[in-house]
Amino acid sequence: MLRLLKEIPTYAYIAGIVGAAATYVLYTPGSSNKKKRKTPMHNGYPRGLINYKNECFINVILQSLASSNRVTQWLVDNKEKLTSSPTSLYDALSGVIAGINRIQLDNSSELDEYQSEFYAAQSIKRALNAHNWHIQSEEHDCHELFHLIMDVLDEEQLENKKSLKSLNYFSNLKENSRLTTKNPFHGYLACQFQCLDCNYKYPLKLESFYSLSLTLPQLRDQLFLNGTVTLYECLNNFFKPELLVEMKCENCQKLGNLPQNKKGIVKRQAIAKLPDCLCVQIQRNSWSDSNYEMIKKTNYVQFPLSIKIDSNSGAASNTFSLRQVGIGGLLGGRANLNNKEKSPERKPALNIENFYELRSAVVHYGNALSGHFVVFRRLLQNLGSKEDWLQISDSDVKKVKQTNLLNSNVYMLFYDKITNIVPN
C-alpha cells in the first residue's frame, strides 16, 4: 500500500508549464549552469525523468500515460472545461505529459532545448498531497499509483460537476455536459450471481474499473511454475465463472429451501462497457505455501501488439478476440449477433471494428520486495515506423527493437482503442 510521509525538500528550480496553475521541477545534477546530462533528442524522442529517490514507480506511469494518444487528447479536450487550481492533479499531469512529449502549451514557459530530462514526480506528489495522499519516496507498486491517479482525477471531475450546480442550467448545456466525461481508462464490468439450488438470478450489477488485474492460471505441473502462458489464458481465467459455496441465497431463505448438500452460487462477469484506454496488470506477487513469504512469479506472458474486439475466432497471429471471454455476454450481446429480424424502416447498421493498439508496457526487474521499473513505449502519434519502440529507465532513453519488448516479462500493458468503420 502507498504509505504516508512528509514531502521531500525541493532542491530544484521551478519552471511553469500550465501558467501559474501547474508547475513541474526541472533538475540538473550539480549546478544548473554546469554539466547537463543528455538523452536522445532527435525524432521527437520524449524526455527522460529524474529518479530522485526510488521514484521509478512514478516515472513509468507518467511515461505510459504520455505514450497514449487517447490520454493526451483527453487532457487537451478538457483543458478549458475543468477548473484550474495550483493543487489540481489534472493540471500537474497535463504539464508533465506536455514536458515529456516536448509539447508547447499555451501560456507556458518554453523548456530549455538543451535540457534532456526533468524531475516530474514532485508536481504529481504535490497534487496528490493536496488530496490528502502523501507518497513516500521509497519503493512502491506502480499499479497502485496508477489507480490512485485515476481515483483523484475522477474526484476532481466530480468537484467540477458539483460546481456547475451554481450555474444557469440552460447556459451552455451542451458544453457543460461534456464535463462529466470519465477519464479514458474508465470502463464497466457486468456481474451477475445465480443460485444453483433455486436458479434465482440476482439483478445485474455494473462495477466500474480502471484496469483488469489478471492472475496467472494455476499450472498443474510444478516443473512449469515459471512456464509460458498467454494473455488470452489470463483473461479467460479472469472471466471464468466462480463458485461461491459459502454465500447464502436470499431467495432460498425466503422460500424456506435450505438443502443439506448446498450447490452454492455462481458468479459470472463480463465487460459491459469498454474504456478508451485498456490497462492490464499481470499479478506476479503471491504468498509462498511453504514458508509464507512473498514471492514473485516470473512466468513469461505472451501478449499481442493489438487486440481486435468482437472479431471471429480465426484472427491474425498478432491479434485475438475478447468475445470468447465474455464481452457483453451477460447483456445478451452475443445473442443479438444472430438476430436476423430487422425493422423495415431501420437503416443497416455500420460495421464497426474496435481495435486496441499497444502503446506501452511496464516491466519489473527484481524480486517481490524490491527492484526497478522500466517502461517500453511508442512515440506519440506513431511518429516513424510502428516497429520503433523506446526503452526508458528513468532518465535513460534509447531506441530498441520490437523483439526486446516481446521477450520481456511484462507487468502492466497499456492499450489505446482505435475504431474503424468498415463498409458493409
Grid coordinates belonging to 259: 438443502
The top-scoring range by mean pLDDT among 174-183, 210-219, 330-339, 350-359 is: 210-219
Grid coordinates belonging to 185: 481508462
Q: List, for residues 14-40, the tens digit of each pLDDT value.
A: 233 333 233 333 333 333 333 444 444
The predicted structure's pLDDT at residue 20: 28
Q: Which DSSP category does 382 fall into?
A: G
CA angle, 282 then 420 then 277, to 5°: 30
Answer for the pair 186, 154: CB distance below 8 angstroms, yes or no: yes
Tell me the H-state helices in 264-343.
333-337
On the 0-12 / 13-18 / 19+ scale of CB atoms within 10 A, 423 is exposed
The yes-or-no verdict on residue 159 having pLDDT over 90 is no
The top-scoring range by mean pLDDT among 166-180, 186-200, 282-296, 370-384 is: 186-200
Q: What's the average model confidence in pLDDT over 204-222? A: 83
Confidence of residue 360 (pLDDT cuts 50, 70, 90): very high
The yes-or-no verdict on residue 49 having pLDDT over 70 is yes
The predicted structure's pLDDT at residue 389: 93
- For residues 70 and 202, what is the distance between their CA atoms, to the nearest angstrom? 36
Q: How many CB atoms lie within 10 A of CB 132?
A: 8
Answer for the pair 336, 343: CB distance below 8 angstroms, yes or no: no
Q: What's the average model confidence in pLDDT over 346-358? A: 65
CA 174 to chain CA mean position, Å: 29
Answer for the pair 288, 296: CB distance below 8 angstroms, yes or no: no
Length, in residues, of the chain: 424
Domains of the chain: 13-162 (3.90.70.10), 211-239+274-337+349-422 (3.90.70.10)
% residues pLDDT > 90 (the chain): 40
- The set of residues, in sequence order, having a beta carbon less than 8 Å from that of 377 and lying 6+ positions away, is 46, 63, 64, 66, 67, 359, 360, 361, 389, 390, 392
The top-scoring range by mean pLDDT among 210-219, 274-283, 411-420 is: 274-283
- For residues 82 and 271, what is the distance between their CA atoms, to the nearest angstrom? 29
The predicted structure's pLDDT at residue 171: 47
Confidence of residue 285 (pLDDT cuts 50, 70, 90): confident
What sign has the CA pseudo-torsion 75, 78, 79, 85?
negative
Q: List, for residues 266-283, the tens digit of each pLDDT value.
A: 999 988 888 999 999 999
In this structure, what are the phi and psi dihedrals at residue 418, rounded to the nearest 5 degrees? -125, 125
The yes-or-no verdict on residue 208 having pLDDT over 50 is yes
The predicted structure's pLDDT at residue 309: 72
The yes-or-no verdict on residue 405 having pLDDT over 80 is yes
Q: How many CB atoms lie within 10 A of CB 182?
A: 18
CA angle, 341 then 345 then 346, to 5°: 65
Q: Which among 216, 220, 210 has a CA at the least distance from the CA of 235?
A: 216
The yes-or-no verdict on residue 369 having pLDDT over 90 is no
The predicted structure's pLDDT at residue 51: 94
Q: List, for residues 382-396, the tens digit of each pLDDT value.
A: 655 566 799 999 999
The predicted structure's pLDDT at residue 353: 65
Count helices and strands in the chain by DSSP H and E runs: 10, 20
- The set of residues, in sequence order, having a beta carbon less than 8 Å from that of 85 and lying 6+ positions away, is 21, 91
Please tell me the number of Cα atoms within 13 Å of 402 on its side-chain side.
Answer: 11
State whether residue 32 is helix, strand or coil: coil
On the 0-12 / 13-18 / 19+ scale of CB atoms within 10 A, 421 is exposed
Q: Which among 77, 78, 74, 99 has a CA at the least distance from the CA of 22?
A: 99
* Amino acid (1-letter code) at residue 85: S
Answer for the pair 282, 237: CB distance below 8 angstroms, yes or no: no
Q: What's the average model confidence in pLDDT over 105-125? A: 67
Q: What's the average model confidence in pLDDT over 141-158? A: 94
Grid coordinates belonging to 163: 460546481
Tell me the H-state helices in 283-364.
333-337
The predicted structure's pLDDT at residue 334: 33
